[in-house]
Amino acid sequence: MYFWIKPFEPYAHFKTISTRPRARMATPDQKSPNVLLQSLCCRILGRSEADVAQQFQYAVRVIGSNFAPTVERDEFLVAEKIKKELTRQRREADAALFSELHRKLHSQGVLKNKWSILYLLLSLSEDPRRQPNKVSSYAALFAQALPRDAHSTPYYYARPQTLPLNYQERSTPSAQSSGSLGSSGISSIGVHTLNGPPPPPPSLLPGQSHPGPGMGDCLRQQLGARLAWTLTASQPSLQTTTSKGVPSAASRNVTRPRRDGDTGGAVEVTEAALVRDILYVFQGIDGRNVKMSAADNCYKVEGKANLNKSLRDTAMRLAELGWLHNKIRKYTDQRSLDRSFGLVGQSFCAALHQELKEYYRLLSVLHSQLQLEDDQGVNLGLESSLTLRRLLVWTYDPKIRLKTLAALVDHCQGRKGGELASAVHAYTKTGDPSMRSLVQHILSLVSHPVLSFLYRWIYDGELEDTHHEFFVASDPTVKTDRLWHDKYTLRTSMIPSFMTMDQSRKVLLIGKSINFLHQVCHDQTPPTKMIAVTRSAEPLQDAADLFTDLENAFQGKIDAAYFETSKYLLDVLSRKYSLLDHMQAVRRYLLLGQGDFIRHLMDLLKPELARPATTLYQHNLTGILETAVRATNAQFDSPEILKRLDVRLLEISPGDTGWDVFSLDYHVDGPIATVFTRECMSHYLRVFNFLWRAKRMEYILTDIRKGHMCNAKLLRNLPEFSGVLHHCHILASEMVHFIHQMQYYITFEVLECSWDELWNQVRQAQDLDHIIAAHEAFLGTVISRCLLDADSRALLNQLRAVFDQIIELQSTQDAICRAAVEELQRRLQFEDKKKQREAEGQWGVTAAEEEQENQRVQEFRESIPKMCSQLRILTHFYQGVVQQFLVLLTTSPDESLRFLSFRLDFNEHYRAREPRLRVSLGARGRRSSHT
C-alpha cells in the first residue's frame, strides 16, 4: 500500500496569520517570525504596517512555499562576488577588510548559515540598473523567489493533482494570481539540460532593459520585476481592470477569441489562443482548437482552424507533452488503486507522481504568467509575452523527462516486484547523465520495498510477501523435515538485475539458515547474536549504496550476514548434533569400513542367512548384530551412534535366501536427516547390498580355499581324484584373482578416494548447502563407479553373473568333495573290516564282497570324468562371462573402469581368446601412449 505523506513546510505557521491591517497587540512578541517579517517589509518599502498588508501576505506565501534551492550554496563564491563588487567601486581597503572579517567569521562556529547571510548582504547591496519606478527598488530582492537551476527529484511525497486551469479562474483578481505564483517553482526549467540553458522569460514590463552579463542574473532581475510588480498591482493608482478584475479589451493589441463555438467556415486562431489551448493540453485537457484524436491517438489542431504551417507544427510538437502526460497519468491512476500490484509497484507509481508534481509546478508557473498578462493587459505582441516558441524552449527538458517516464511505463507493463525493479534498472544504462540521474532516483524509490524485504529476511528470517514480489518464495505446505530442501526457493523472475545470482543465493541461504535453526534445530538464539552486522536505519542510504557501490558496501553486508549465519549453523550441527560423527558411522557400517565387525558379523550370520528368507526373524538377527558389536571394536562407538544401527530385511522374492534379503540400516532424524535424506539412505542401501554381496563372494572363496587345503591332505589316498582337485584349484584361483581386484577397486579407488574428497569438502564447507552438495556428489560417484547407475546396467548384470558362477563353484566343489569323502570313508571301512576279520582268524573278505567293492570303486572312477566335465563347463561359462565383462569395461567412458580391465587381464589371457578385446585393448594402449 502506498502512503501519501504531507510535505514538510518549515514556515507553514505563517499561513494562519491574519493579514488585515491591525493595531499593535497589547503584548506583542517582538521576536516572533511574523512580527520580524512585517517589520522587514515596512523597512524595505518605507511604509506603515497598514500599507504593506498585501506585500506581507505575499512574503508569507513565498516563505511558506516549497521552492527548490535558487542558487548554488557556495560561500566562497558569494564572498568573491562581494570582493569583486568592492574592487569595482574602487574600495580596495574595504575589500581587504572584508576578507579579514570573513576569515575570522569562517574560523568561528557561531553562525551556521554563513552563506545565507553573505548572500543577503550581497542582494541588499546591489543597485538595480533599471528605469526609475515604484518597483525597481525591491525587484531584485523578490527576484530570488524563483529558482534558476532547480532539480525535479526532491525528496517529498505530496500527491500531485491536476491543476484546475479552467476559464473561470482566468478572471480571478490579481491578488489570487500573485498567491498562485508565490507557491510554485519552475522545477523543470534547469540549467543542466542537453543543449545548454534555455533563454529566460522576458520581463512583462514594457521598456525594461535586459542587462547582458550573466543569464542567471538576468533571469532573477526579470522574474523579480514581474513578482514585485504583482505586489503593487492591486493599488488603485495602477489598476486598469474593472471592478471584477477583468482587463479592458482596449488594453491588448490582439483580441482574445471567444470560447463559444463558431459554426461558420475557417476560424482565425491567434497565437495567444493557441498558447491557452496548449496549457490545457499539457494537463491532458482538450482545448478549443487542439483536441485529442481517438482514431490517431494523438492531439491534433482542428482542421477548420486557420493557422499557418509554422504555428500548426509548433503546436503539434508542444501537444506531445499532453499525450505523454496522459500516458503516464493513466498508468498511475490504474495501478494506484490495484492492491495486487504490490509495494514495489506502488513505489513506482509514487515516483511517477513525484515527477508529475514537478511537471505541474511548471504548469502552475506558466499559467500564473499568462494570468498576469491577461489581468494586467500586457501587449501580447511585445517580446515579453508568452509565445509558442518560448514554451517550446522552456518545455524541452520536461519533454525529455516525460518521454523517459513514458518509455518506463511501456517497459514496465505487466511487471511487478523484482521484475519491475529490473525493468527500471535497464534504463540506467545510458550515456545521458540527466536521464540516468532521473531513472536512478526512480529506481532508488522502487527498490526501497525490495530492500525492506531483503533486510527483514536476512536479519529476522521473516518473509511477508503477500503479493509475491520478493525473489525468495516460501511454500507453507512443506513439512519441517523438508524445510531446507523444499520450503524456500528462488523465484528467478523476481531477482533484480542489479543483484547477481550469487548474491541472491546468499540471501536465500541467510534467511533459510535462520528458519532452519529455529524450527528444526530448536535453537532460539536471536539473529542479532548470530550476525555482528546491525540493520541499517537509513533505507534510502542503503538504496544509494546498492547502486553506487554494489561490490563493496552492499556486498559487504550480504557477505557478513551470510558468513556469520552459516558458520553458526554449522557449529550447531557439528557440536550439538554430531554431524561429522554420524557421517563417519555411516562410512564404517553401511560402507563396510569397520572390517573386524563385518567379518565377525558374517561368521555369526552364516547359519541364519543360509536358510530360506521366509524363515528369518528380525529380532533374532538384531540379537546377532548386538553380539557382533560387543565382540569387536564397534563397542567403543558412541551410544548415540550404536542405537541408530539396526537390521533391515528387504522384500522377499520366491527362492531367496537370507543372504539376498539381509541389510544393515542406520536411522537418521532431526537436522541430520537434512543431509541424510530418504533418497540418500536408499542409495546407501543399494551400495550396502552390492558391497555385502561382493564381501560374501570373498567369504565364499576363502571357504573354497580352506576346503582345498583340507581335502588335499584328506584325499591323498585317492590318487585318481587328484586331477579333479587340481581343476577346482585352478578355477578357484581365477575367481580369487577376479574378486581381489574388484575388492581393491571398490575399496580403494572408489570408496577411499571419494570419502577423502568428501571429508575435505565438508571440513572446508561455508554453508549447509556445500555439505549437502558434497555428500550428494560423493554418493553419485560411488553409485556410478560401483556400476549401480542406469548407464552401467549391462556391466552390473555381467558382474552378478560372475558372482553366480562363484556360488555355483562352491556348490559343485562341495558336492564333488562330499562324494570323494564318502568314497574314501567306504574304502577305509572296507579295509578296517578286512583287518578285523583277519585278526579274528577269518578270511578278510569273501569273493562276493571283493567283487562288490571293486564294482563300487569302478563306479567312482567312472564318475570322475563326469566331475571333470562339469568343472570344465563351469570354467567355460565363467570365462565367457568374465570375457564379456572385460569387453564392456574397455568401452566404458569411465577411465577408472577402463584401467580395471588391465588388472583383471594382467597376463592377456582373455585378450588372446577374444578378437574384440584385442582391438579394444590395443586402441586403449595407443590412447594411453599418446597421452
Q: Which residues of the chain have pLDDT under 50?
A: 1-28, 68, 129-264, 379-381, 537, 540, 920-931
Are β-strands 305-306 and 472-474 bridged in parallel, bridged antiparallel, or unpaired? unpaired
Q: Which pLDDT does position 609 carry in this prediction? A: 93
- For 649, the enclosing helix (H) or strand (E) is strand 645-649
Compute the distance between CA of residue 865 and CA of residue 872 in angstroms, rounded to an integer.
10
Q: Tell me the CA distances in angstroms from 515 to 52, 504, 511, 558, one per residue in order.
A: 69, 17, 6, 17
DSSP label at 484?
Answer: I
State the cell numbers at 560: 557478513
Please state, as a whole number, how many other Cβ atoms lie within 10 Å of the Cβ of residue 442.
Answer: 25
The two counts, helices (H) then strands (E), for the chain are 34, 8
Helix H, strand E, coil C: the string for 783-798 is HHHCCCCHHHHHHHHH
Place of cell 509565445: 387
Indicate the SS3 state at residue 183.
coil
**Do residues 400 and 434 touch, judged by C-beta distance below 8 A?**
yes
C-alpha dihedral sign at 740, 742, 743, 749: positive
- For 301, the enclosing helix (H) or strand (E) is strand 298-301
**Do residues 708 and 729 touch, judged by C-beta distance below 8 A?**
yes
Q: Tell me the CA distances in angstroms from 885 to 24, 269, 534, one per residue in order.
A: 116, 99, 63
**Do residues 172 and 246 touch, judged by C-beta distance below 8 A?**
no
Nearby residues of 402 by Cβ (< 8 Å), 6 or more positions away = 321, 324, 325, 328, 355, 359
- For 292, the enclosing helix (H) or strand (E) is strand 290-293
Q: Which pLDDT does position 217 carry in this prediction? A: 40
Best CA proximity match to 472, nearest among 511, 440, 514, 523: 511
The model's pTM: 0.66
**Do residues 388 and 271 touch, judged by C-beta distance below 8 A?**
yes
DSSP 537-548: S-HHHHHHHHHH
Compute the distance between CA of residue 460 and CA of residue 447 in angstroms, rounded to an integer.
19
Compute the distance between CA of residue 32 and CA of residue 816 in angstroms, rounded to an integer.
124
Helix H, strand E, coil C: the string for 304-334 is CEECCHHHHHHHHHHHHHHHHHHHHHHHHHH
Compute the distance between CA of residue 238 and CA of residue 547 in angstroms, rounded to an integer.
56
Q: Which pLDDT does position 898 carry in this prediction? A: 86
Nearby residues of 607 by Cβ (< 8 Å), 6 or more positions away = none
Compute the distance between CA of residue 143 and CA of residue 138 in angstroms, rounded to an integer.
9
> Dihedrals φ, ψ of 698, to 5°?
-65, -40
Place of cell 492531439: 299
Best CA proximity match to 244, nearest among 149, 175, 309, 306: 175
